[in-house]
């Protein structure tokens, strides 16, 4: 009998699982919350990291990933990511992803924060995610995968401690009807639902990032881990709708300055603007506090040329998507610095998996941002997220048919943290009525870039009151709200339990983890890397 796999999510991780599972003899149904093309992947500007050049080394990419992860990465998972990454990138190329190439035909090298080598590949300048998503979607549509769009994951179906399907709420957009329930049975369910950016008032994520997969996994009894590690991207345009300015802009040489024009990032780290993301984001937040909340500036006015018109042409060609967004907001970044601020970007923790995406619940897999594979540790290295989706998506897809046939399943030790009981009785003020906006502001104020026990305890008490309050769950948004609230409770609990500052989890009332790592700029291949960086800036 042909195994049936249901995949929830249509980003790089979910699409890769689907294509590999079909190739290994599975019948596949892919479910997506919106249209097939609408996933976090398509918003990825920075690129995909991989050892694709002769003068780069696997060991250097491994080391960079471990250094950024502040000692919490799983070394075996990191090695899998880095060693198998080039094959997955070549697979994307075979599927039609046209990564940018120089005049000589070689790939254009991109440098991003905390990398010791410019190993980032881009497509369309700053449209890498869009190029990858289009290629994978085209391949999927050419396969015999069944696709169900506008289908919301209500819950997992669990029978005898095994996941046997999913419950959906399906909108018929063409007919204008909403809320049709459907249960899809399966031999395996793969969560590829992305992250939880909607937990925060300021986020780079699309509105579909409402932690649905993590919440469903928790309710099914799956282990989750390290939810306290939420990465905040340093540079979001501080005007209009949130828009991320890729780290690649700083990789090209753009600098961060305060309102007086002083470069301040070197106060926090010897790598300055190219330090790990958590450090740069907190440096910006600290400077904004010193400026009474006013934004800092990203200065690209020294890039490429002393002539502003030539610089404008370069920026428009190298970063077309960003250039358009900047100009739509009324800025001429070839001639003036642009205001930027941090925002919630990427969840490093998630549903605990092994190296093939299998969770602690039989029949349930998790891949991509929804998962905790161990590759990111306390802080994700730039441009490793697309790579993770491709590598571990392929690994899960390659194994589903064999798992379903053999009945094998790994046993995992519990990774659950002791729960700090909060019941709302310690609050000194009335709790406002629950709304998504109220939750987002609560999390931003108490569980974002800088945390302490006072704020986290307050958040826990408010969330406890909201969790005890009965609310109707009939519409997609109502289900999303309950998912966000459940995951917020677990995130805050994890943050209270980790009584240290490490990576993206920074507590001003706790000692910092001593990573003891030198600047990446001073690591192996220093001269070769500096030369490559100069070429990247000049291109």
277, 311, 496, 498: which one is catalytic?
277
CA distances from 416 to 13, 218, 223, 244 (A): 25, 11, 6, 33
At 190, which helix (H) or strand (E)?
strand 188-191
- How far is Cα 192 from Cα 14, in angstroms, rounded to an integer? 5
**Sequence-separated contacts (24+) of 529-532 with Cβ below 8 Å:** 529/111, 529/116, 529/117, 529/118, 532/55, 532/109, 532/111, 532/117, 532/118
The strands making up 371-372's β-sheet, listed across from edge to edge, are 224-225, 350-352, 371-372
Region of 377 please: left (phi>0), alpha (psi -120 to 50) or beta.
left
- Other Cβ atoms less than 10 A from the Cβ of 189: the count is 33
b/e per residue, 304-331, with b = 16+ CB within 10 A? Answer: beeeeeebbebbbebbebbbebbeebeb
User: Is 277 a catalytic site residue?
Assistant: yes
Cβ distance 274 to 250 under 8 Å? yes
CA distances from 101 to 55, 110, 248, 310, 459 (A): 17, 11, 16, 21, 48
At 339, which helix (H) or strand (E)?
strand 338-347
Cβ distance 120 to 47 under 8 Å? yes
b/e per residue, 250-264, with b = 16+ CB within 10 A? Answer: bbbbbbbbbbeeeeb
- Other Cβ atoms less than 10 A from the Cβ of 517: the count is 16
| DSSP-derived secondary structure for 208-244 | T-S-HHHHHHHHTT--EE-TT-EEEEEEEESSSS--B
Q: Residue 473 class from Cβ within 10 Å (0-12 exposed, 13-18 middle, 19+ buried)?
A: middle
- How far is Cα 153 from Cα 170, in angstroms, rounded to an integer? 9
Q: With the CA atoms of 9, 12, 14 and 20 taken in that order, what torsion angle do they form, in degrees rounded to the nearest 10?
A: 160
- How far is Cα 302 from Cα 33, in angstroms, rounded to an integer? 43
Q: In DSSP terms, which residues pair with 372 in a beta bridge?
A: 352
Cβ distance 403 to 410 under 8 Å? no
Among all residues, which ones are annotated catalytic? 277
């Amino acid at each position: 009998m042909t195994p049936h796999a249901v995949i929830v999510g249509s980003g790089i991780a979910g699409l890769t699982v689907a294509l590999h599972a079909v190739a290994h003899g599975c019948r596949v149904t892919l479910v997506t919350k919106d249209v097939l093309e609408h996933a976090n992947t398509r918003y990825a500007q920075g690129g995909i990291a991989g050892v694709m050049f002769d003068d780069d080394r696997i060991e250097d990419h491994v080391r960079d990933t471990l250094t950024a992860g502040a000692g919490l990465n799983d070394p075996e998972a990191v090695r899998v990511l880095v060693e198998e990454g080039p094959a997955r990138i070549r697979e994307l190329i075979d599927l039609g992803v046209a990564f940018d190439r120089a005049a000589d035909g070689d790939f254009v090298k991109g440098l991003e924060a905390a990398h010791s080598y410019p190993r980032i590949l881009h497509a369309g300048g700053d449209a890498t995610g869009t190029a990858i998503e289009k290629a994978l979607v085209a391949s999927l549509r050419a396969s015999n995968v069944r696709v169900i769009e506008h289908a919301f994951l209500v819950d997992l179906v669990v029978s005898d401690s095994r996941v046997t399907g999913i419950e959906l709420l399906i909108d018929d957009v063409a007919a204008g009807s909403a809320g049709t329930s459907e249960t899809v049975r399966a031999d395996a369910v793969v969560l590829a639902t992305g992250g939880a950016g909607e937990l925060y008032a300021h986020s780079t994520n699309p509105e579909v990032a409402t932690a649905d997969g993590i919440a469903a996994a928790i309710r099914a009894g799956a282990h989750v881990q390290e939810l306290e590690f939420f990465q905040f991207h340093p540079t979001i345009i501080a005007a209009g709708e949130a828009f991320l300015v890729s780290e690649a802009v700083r990789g090209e040489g753009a600098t961060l300055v305060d309102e007086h024009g002083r470069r301040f990032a070197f106060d926090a780290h010897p790598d300055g603007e190219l330090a790990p993301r958590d450090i740069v984001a907190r440096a910006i937040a600290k400077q904004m506090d010193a400026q009474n909340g006013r934004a800092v500036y990203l200065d690209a006015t020294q890039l490429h040329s002393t002539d502003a018109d030539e610089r404008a042409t370069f920026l428009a060609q190298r970063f077309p998507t960003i250039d358009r967004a900047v100009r739509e907001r009324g800025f001429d970044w070839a001639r003036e610095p642009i205001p930027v601020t941090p925002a919630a970007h990427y969840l490093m923790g998630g549903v605990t998996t092994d190296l093939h995406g299998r969770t602690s619940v039989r029949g349930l897999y998790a891949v991509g941002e929804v998962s905790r594979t161990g590759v990111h540790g306390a802080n994700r290295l730039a441009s490793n997220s697309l790579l993770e989706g491709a590598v571990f998506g392929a690994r899960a897809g390659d194994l589903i048919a064999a798992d379903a046939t053999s009945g094998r399943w790994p046993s995992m030790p519990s990774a659950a943290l002791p729960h700090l009981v909060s019941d709302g009785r310690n609050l000194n003020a009335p709790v406002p009525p629950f709304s998504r906006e109220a939750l987002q502001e609560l999390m931003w104020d108490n569980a974002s870039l800088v945390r302490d026990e006072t704020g986290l305890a307050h958040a826990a008490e408010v969330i406890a009151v909201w969790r005890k309050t009965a609310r109707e769950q009939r519409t997609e948004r109502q289900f999303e709200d309950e998912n966000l609230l459940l995951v917020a409770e677990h995130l805050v609990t994890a943050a209270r339990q980790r009584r240290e500052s490490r990576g993206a989890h920074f507590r001003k009332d706790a000692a910092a983890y001593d990573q003891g790592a030198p600047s990446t700029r001073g690591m192996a291949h220093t001269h070769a890397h500096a030369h490559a960086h100069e070429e990247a800036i000049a291109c």
